[in-house]
Amino acid sequence: MVDLPSAEHVAMAAVVVLAAIVVWDAYWLTKQRRDVPELGSLSGGGFAWASEGVHEMVRQWGNLGSMAAMMVLPWALLEASNTPIIYAILWDVFLALHLISLLIPKRYAITSTHLFADGQRYPWERLRLAKRQPKRRIMLLRNGWGPFGPLPLGGDAASLRVAREYIKAMEQARSGEVADESE
């Protein structure tokens, strides 16, 4: 029979992985001001805008609900698994920090070559506009990611309207390039 690792070792590993995710996300959040220093129409063409906390709540509603469930679940299993309570406390602290990072206002930018979102740069050839669009955000899909590829963008209605027009223009330009290459 195979010996399973102790509940304490599993809990420690889970907390360490979660802490690494929180640190990784915090790093990317610090980059967004450097990557998107100005808002509005960009001098080289393109558009940049910022969201507010309420826009991020609309953008991330599914993740927020999942994290709330993930914060509660370990407490039900502590006694059954004989895991020290400190791991559940640390788990909740790191999840709360991650939850807060999701609600921090973000900066977005669209250029002719890239989308800047969440401190990262996405080339347009790796993105596409989802066929069905939610009302209060823009939903892009990352090519090749399947169901794990949604990339929602937040912001006020006016900014999203302008951003959607830029995105459609990028897609039209890209489909024109593909047609030119096939000739």
DSSP 113: S
C-alpha 95 chain-centroid distance:
15
Residue 80 is predicted with a pLDDT of 84
**What local confidence, expressed as pLDDT, does residue 178 receive?**
52
Joined together, the tokens standing for residue 179 give: 């047609």
Q: Please check whether residue 7 lies inside any domain of the structure.
A: no
* Residue 22 covered by a domain: no
Report yes or no on 12 lying in a domain. Answer: no
- Number of domains present in the structure of the chain: 1
Q: Is 3 among the domain residues?
A: no
Report helix, strand or coil for 71.
helix
Burial profile 165-179: b = 16 or more Cβ within 10 angstroms, e = fewer? ebbeebeeeeeeeee
What pTM value is reported for the model?
0.78
The terminus-to-terminus CA distance of the chain in angstroms comes to: 63
* Number of residues that make up the chain: 183
Domain, as residue range, for 109: 30-182
> Is 81 part of a structural domain of the chain?
yes
Q: What is the rounded CA–CA span in Å between residue 163 and residue 87? A: 43
Closest CA to 150 of 141, 162, 163: 141
Is 2 within the bounds of a domain? no
Residue 21, domain member (yes or no)? no
Q: Is residue 6 part of a domain?
A: no
Can you tell me the distance from the alpha carbon of 98 to that of 101, in angstroms, rounded to the nearest whole number? Answer: 5
In a 13 Å sphere around the CA of 169, the CA atoms on its Cβ side amount to 15
- CA separation for the pair 50, 142 (Å, rounded): 21
Cα–Cα nearest to 139, from 117, 119, 159, 154: 154
pLDDT in tens, the chain (183 residues): 788 788 889 999 999 999 999 999 889 888 888 888 899 999 888 999 999 988 888 888 888 888 889 999 889 888 888 889 999 999 999 999 999 988 889 999 999 889 999 888 999 889 988 888 888 889 999 998 887 788 889 999 999 999 999 998 887 877 776 555 555
